[in-house]
């Protein structure tokens, strides 16, 4: 138990569906992140929120839409995805300092399959 909870753990969707991934952290951290992990590739940073404000968008396609209503919750809204978007989506949180991202704590991930 890392203090970061992701739901659902598994999701299968068609290319025309709309779905959302949810992340909740119970660690009192001020920053939350979405990462994408594809087979045989290093983790890719997608979005960063610091105190609910988006501070990084790593050139992610608009079919991925993040939402951070408060410092404890983070969503990733998905629509009109492509099969190549199938991956493990990981949420993380940290207590950011002035100069560093801080130690990252990850959730268990949401395994997404796009048919």
Partner 1 sequence: KQEVTQIPAALSVPEGENLVLNCSFTDSAIYNLQWFRQDPGKGLTSLLLIQSSQREQTSGRLNASLDKSSGRSTLYIAASQPGDSATYLCAVGGGSARQLTFGSGTQLTVLP
Q: What does the binding site for partner 1 look like in residue numbers (CB under 8 A)?
A: 2, 4, 6, 31, 33, 40-43, 45, 48, 55-56, 58, 88, 90, 92, 96, 99-101, 103-109, 111
- CB nearer to partner 1: pick between 1 and 84: 1
Q: To the nearest whole angstrom, how small is the minimum distance from the Cβ of residue 100 to partner 1?
A: 4
| Minimum separation from the CB atom of position 80 to partner 1 (A) | 26
End-to-end CA distance of the chain: 31
* Nearest distance from C-beta of residue 96 to partner 1, angstroms: 8
* Nearest residue (CB) to partner 1, 56 versus 67: 56
Cβ atoms of 44 and 36 within 8 Å: the answer is: yes
User: Which is closer to partner 1, CB of 49 or CB of 78?
Assistant: 49
- Report the C-alpha gap between 64 and 79 in whole angstroms: 7
**Which residues in the chain belong to E strands, given as ranges?**
4-7, 10-13, 18-25, 31-37, 44-50, 53-57, 64-70, 73-79, 87-94, 105-106, 110-114
């Amino acid at each position: 138990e890392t203090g970061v909870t992701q739901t659902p753990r598994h999701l299968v969707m068609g290319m025309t569906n709309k779905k959302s991934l949810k992340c909740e952290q119970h660690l009192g951290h001020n920053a939350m992140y979405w990462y994408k992990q594809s087979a045989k590739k290093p983790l890719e940073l997608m979005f960063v929120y610091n105190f609910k404000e988006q501070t990084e968008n790593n050139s992610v396609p608009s079919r991925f839409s993040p939402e951070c209503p408060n410092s404890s919750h983070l969503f990733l809204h998905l629509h009109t995805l492509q099969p190549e978007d199938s991956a493990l989506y990981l949420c993380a949180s940290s207590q950011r300092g002035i100069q560093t991202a801080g130690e990252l704590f990850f959730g268990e991930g949401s395994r997404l399959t796009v048919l």
